[in-house]
Amino acid sequence: MKKTFFVLLLSSLTFSIFAQEGREKPFSVGIGPEWNMDSRHNFAIGGVLGFTYNLPRNFALGIDISGSSNFSGTHVLEPDFIFRYYLMNRAYNGLFLQTDIGAFFMYEEDELTFLPEFGFRGGYRWLLGSSFFIEPYGRLGYPFAFGIGLMAGIRF
């Protein structure tokens, strides 16, 4: 009797963890330009590629990979893990807040420098139909000062 109860309890917890209530498209991928202060000497322009997976209760996890250059010898690569919270509703769109943690690789004057990176991002995801979205955002953090960008993507 105890084994049967334990198996039923464990099964009910496991199924609730992986429930996909009302979420047709939990994955998304986006790409876009960014203007930032990744360089010590001037502004930089680059791009970002992002992947997210929607979790229950307005949360999402993902990976962002950004690259930028000031076109004067400083190049930066930023792979980050992200944790996002949508503030407005359960459709995984609208206003969001996000934390980023990862690495900051700067190639400058024939030398590669590694620094840990963390930051905060805020933005708004507009759905265009059921699959496409655009997402303007701004971010602050360390070791960069700021970034402003616009992503466009697809949910699947």
User: Domains in the chain, start-ordered, CATH in brackets?
Assistant: 24-155 (2.40.160.20)
Q: Which residue carries 């084994």 as its tokens? A: 3
Using CA atoms, how far apart are residues 44 and 75, in angstroms rounded to an integer?
9
Q: Half-sphere exposure of 4 toward its Cβ, with a 13 Å CA cutoff?
A: 1
What's the pLDDT tens digit per position in 39-74?
A: 887 899 999 999 999 999 999 999 999 999 999 999
Output the pTM of the full model: 0.81
Find how far residue 12's CA is from the centre of its chain.
Answer: 30
Tally Cβ neighbours within 10 Å of residue 80: 24
pLDDT of residue 3: 57
Q: Which residue carries 């229950």 as its tokens? A: 56
Rg of the chain over all Cα atoms, to the nearest angstrom: 19
Long-range contacts of 135-140 (CB under 8 A, 24+ apart): 135/30, 135/32, 139/36, 139/100
User: Which residue would you say has higher pLDDT here, 121 or 9?
Assistant: 121
Q: Is 50 exposed, middle or buried (0-12, 13-18, 19+ CB in 10 A)?
A: buried
In degrees, to the nearest 5, what angle opens at C-alpha 92 toward C-alphas 63 and 61? 25
Q: 11: pLDDT confidence band, cut at 50, 70 and 90?
A: low
Kindly report the average pLDDT of the chain as a whole number: 88
Q: 14: pLDDT confidence band, cut at 50, 70 and 90?
A: very low
Residue 2 has pLDDT above 80, yes or no: no
Residue 141 has pLDDT above 50, yes or no: yes
